[in-house]
């Protein structure tokens, strides 16, 4: 039971509770009440929380401290280096916008003000991503009875930067064909980044999957590439594919096999000459014995797109988008394409790749007019 007493002319309560983390007994004290009844009511609420197994030890935690504890306990175990970095950036964001603020003191208005400020220099996708982190944390904090309302609920996402439109993430077919040709032409041990660009035009592989590809993964006789691992961009450590569906076999053309065979021979001859053995046997290992980072392949892709005079500049992942859209546009089976690129379900493929090339759109518009013109002519003849 709470103890109530008067101190310096004001009422104060003390509630004893057991810290579930340490197992030690602690006291929760609050004073400054003018009336005894007010103090008793406040103490009663604490006792009620205590009887409902609320963690009283955490009720004075800062927003940033609780979020950090939540992240390290529930969110980052087994996650990629980039995902872990994203969560730790979110911790820094809280420290910046909610300095020394307790979690229990954060209001919906406080949080909306944060979204307004944070979103000024970011896209809606970015703001939504971080908002989802904080919303999930709120759900668990409510379950722990640290807070009783979700201050992220029904708030408005504000963005000061425009996200790329879907059309900006794809190349049109003519530019795609030109990119294949120019990347193939540049492919050599002297230009490993172009070689990586070329392979993605042929397979739609993710950057991390390409970076982790070894010569043992390529069956030159069957013209098949095995995808069973990936590379962390920041640490360069090997990791699993993005999802279990990412483990797959990808068919490639005879032309692609020839390019890869030439690169392998070129690489082998050079490494023998300098007496170097790649411990991982990576496909994309340069003369300097390095594997290209995401930044370097994106820089080279931009150069190649400028070289062919492409109508738009996309990033490396945009080649994957284009590869998938191109296959679907050419009439390839949706399920086959989905398996080829390592999607868990065809719904994922449809969700992200509903793009229609300008040329296809024009053709289908023409076909539609012909269709309905034909219907009208039939009706008139009747």
pLDDT at 375 over 70: no
306 burial level (CB within 10 Å; 0-12, 13-18, 19+): exposed
pLDDT per residue as tens digits for the range 267-289: 999 999 999 999 999 999 999 99
List residues bridging with 188 in a β-sheet.
Answer: 191
Ordered structural domains, the chain, with CATH: 3-45 (no CATH), 63-143 (1.10.150.130), 167-359 (1.10.443.10)
134 closest CA partner among 113, 153, 160, 161: 153
d(CA 162, CA 123): 6
Residue scoring higher pLDDT (340 or 23): 340
| pLDDT, position 296 | 95
pLDDT at 217 over 70: yes
Q: What is the mean pLDDT of residues 100-107?
A: 93
Instruction: Select, from the ranges 49-63, 145-159, 352-366, the one with the highest average predicted confidence (pLDDT).
Output: 145-159
Q: How confident is the model at residue 358 (pLDDT cuts 50, 70, 90)?
A: low
pLDDT at 308 over 70: yes
218-219 vs 25-33, strand pairing mode? unpaired
230-231 vs 224-227, strand pairing mode? unpaired
d(CA 138, CA 122): 23
d(CA 274, CA 105): 64
pLDDT per residue as tens digits for the range 119-136: 999 999 899 999 999 999
Residue scoring higher pLDDT (64 or 34): 64
pLDDT per residue as tens digits for the range 148-161: 899 999 999 988 76
193's tokens: 């980044």
Contact 157, 128 (CB under 8 A): yes
Helix axes 173-186, 294-308, angle to 10 degrees: 110
């Amino acid at each position: 039971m709470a103890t109530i007493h008067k101190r310096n002319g004001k009422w104060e309560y003390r509630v004893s509770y057991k810290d579930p983390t340490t197992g030690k007994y602690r006291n929760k004290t609050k004073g400054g009440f003018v009336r005894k009844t007010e103090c008793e009511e406040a103490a009663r609420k604490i006792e009620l929380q205590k009887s409902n197994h609320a963690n009283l030890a955490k009720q004075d935690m800062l927003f940033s401290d609780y979020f950090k504890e939540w992240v390290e306990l529930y969110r980052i175990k087994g996650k990629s280096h980039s995902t872990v970095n994203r969560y730790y950036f979110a911790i820094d964001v809280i420290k910046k916008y909610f300095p020394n603020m307790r979690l229990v003191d954060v209001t919906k208005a406080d949080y909306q003000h944060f979204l307004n400020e944070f979103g000024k220099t970011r896209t809606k996708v970015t703001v939504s991503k971080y908002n989802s982190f904080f919303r999930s944390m709120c759900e668990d904090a409510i379950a722990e009875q640290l807070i009783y309302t979700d201050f992220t609920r029904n708030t408005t996402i504000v963005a000061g930067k425009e996200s790329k439109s879907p059309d900006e993430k794809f190349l049109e077919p003519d530019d795609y064909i030109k990119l294949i040709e120019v990347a193939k032409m540049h492919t050599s041990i002297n230009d490993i980044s172009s070689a990586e660009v070329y392979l993605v035009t042929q397979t739609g592989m993710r950057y991390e999957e390409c970076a982790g590809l070894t010569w043992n993964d390529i069956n030159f006789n069957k013209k098949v590439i095995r995808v069973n691992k990936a590379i962390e961009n920041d640490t360069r450590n090997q990791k699993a594919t993005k999802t279990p569906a990412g483990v797959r076999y990808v068919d490639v053309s005879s032309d692609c096999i020839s390019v890869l065979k030439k690169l392998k021979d070129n690489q082998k001859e050079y490494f023998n000459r300098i007496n170097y053995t790649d411990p991982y046997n990576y496909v994309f290992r340069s003369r300097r014995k390095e594997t290209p980072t995401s930044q370097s392949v994106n820089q080279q892709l931009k150069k190649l797109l400028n070289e062919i005079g492409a109508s738009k500049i996309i990033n490396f992942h945009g080649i994957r988008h284009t590869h998938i859209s191109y296959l679907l546009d050419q009439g390839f089976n949706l399920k086959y394409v989905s398996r080829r690129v390592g999607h868990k379900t065809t719904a994922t493929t449809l969700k992200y790749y509903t793009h229609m090339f300008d040329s296809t759109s024009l053709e289908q518009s023409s076909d539609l007019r012909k269709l309905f013109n034909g219907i009208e002519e039939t009706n008139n003849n009747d």
